[in-house]
Amino acid sequence: MAEQVPGRLAVLAPETAYRFLGHATHSHPEPHLIYVVTGSATLEIGGERVFLGTQSAVWLAPGVPHSARYSPGSLVIGPMLSPTTVPPEPVHRLGSPPALTAVMTALLGVAPSTDEQVAVFRQALDEVLTQLAGPHFALPTPQHPVAAAIAAVAPVSTESLDLLAARHGASSRHVQRLFLAETGISFHQWRVRARLNIAIDRLRSGAPPRRAAAAAGYATPSGLKKALRREADLDLADFQSS
């Protein structure tokens, strides 16, 4: 168990004591990131309790009231974001994405002190969060009516391509050609990535691996884990609070 930061050190600079001790309910006029460097945090956000472990984060929209309690030995930082870097919903759980951890680690090491330095890190956070706001894989949707209809149901359907194609009076070979021509990847890879987008969205929102796997059509978390590693070089641990 981490040792608690000595009180005299935690409050040495009153303006930063909240990073060790937590804070009462308040809100900010700008988008706001809460990131746990070490330890854990329990947040109360709009009547909902949100737990964050080490290297996990939540992204808040402007004006969202929140309070925080930290476990002993914790360090939590909360950089303000650019006004246009607004999350897709008021409270957007991020899990522990490696790209965000890399920027936050650099932020701690550099400790930017000038406006120019702060601007560089704010831009880096904007770029990472913009990527995290959308699907992990940017998948083009095929335009051909048959391929588009199949694309609409394929991620959540358990039916084979043969059955999906037959429903639309087409052969699986024809559908394969359409997907390759209009998306640049095979139907199989498109479907796997579409399913992973569903799973990653659930995992970012705090869903347990079993529930995320089921939502994306995987029978077990191990199947999801293999697909994440193969297609995205990610692990389930990247989304789990420590």
> Is 206 found in the same domain as 149?
yes
> Is 172 found in the same domain as 228?
yes
User: What is the per-residue pLDDT for 11?
Assistant: 62
Domain contains 189: yes
State the Rg of the chain over Cα.
21
Q: Does residue 177 register a pLDDT over 50?
A: yes
- Identity of the highest mean pLDDT range in 9-23, 165-179, 225-239: 165-179
Among the candidates 103, 133, 163, a domain finishes at 133
Q: Does residue 135 register a pLDDT over 70?
A: yes
CATH code for position 186: 1.10.10.60
Going by pLDDT thresholds of 50, 70 and 90, the confidence category of residue 1 is very low
User: What is the per-residue pLDDT for 200?
Assistant: 86
> Is 157 found in the same domain as 90?
no
> Is 77 found in the same domain as 38?
yes
User: What is the per-residue pLDDT for 242?
Assistant: 45
> Is 127 found in the same domain as 194?
no
Averaged pLDDT for residues 133-149: 89
Among the candidates 93, 109, 133, a domain finishes at 133
> Is 229 found in the same domain as 114?
no
Domain contains 1: no
Which of these, 86, 178, 196, 99, lies nearest to 141 by C-alpha position?
A: 178
> Is 75 found in the same domain as 53?
yes
Dist CA 57 CA 51 (whole Å): 9
Domain contains 89: yes
User: What is the per-residue pLDDT for 149?
Assistant: 96
Among the candidates 83, 110, 133, a domain finishes at 133
Domain contains 28: yes
Tens of pLDDT, residues 27-74: 999 999 999 999 999 999 978 889 999 999 999 999 999 999 999 889
- Is 26 within 8 Å of 35 (Cβ atoms)? no
> Is 163 found in the same domain as 90?
no
Rounded to whole angstroms, what are the CA distances from 88 to 61, 119, 204? Answer: 9, 23, 12
Domain contains 138: no
> Bigger pLDDT: 123 or 201?
123
Q: Does residue 8 register a pLDDT over 90?
A: no
Domain contains 109: yes
> Is 24 found in the same domain as 101?
yes
Where in the sequence is the domain holding 210, given as residue range(s)?
Answer: 145-239
Domain contains 140: no
Look at the chain and report how many structural domains it folds into. 2
> Is 14 found in the same domain as 126?
yes
> Is 215 found in the same domain as 125?
no
> Is 128 found in the same domain as 30?
yes
Which of these, 142, 207, 212, lies nearest to 177 by C-alpha position?
A: 142
- Is 42 within 8 Å of 50 (Cβ atoms)? yes
> Bigger pLDDT: 52 or 9?
52
The pTM (predicted TM-score) of the whole model is: 0.65
CATH code for position 110: 2.60.120.280
Domain contains 222: yes
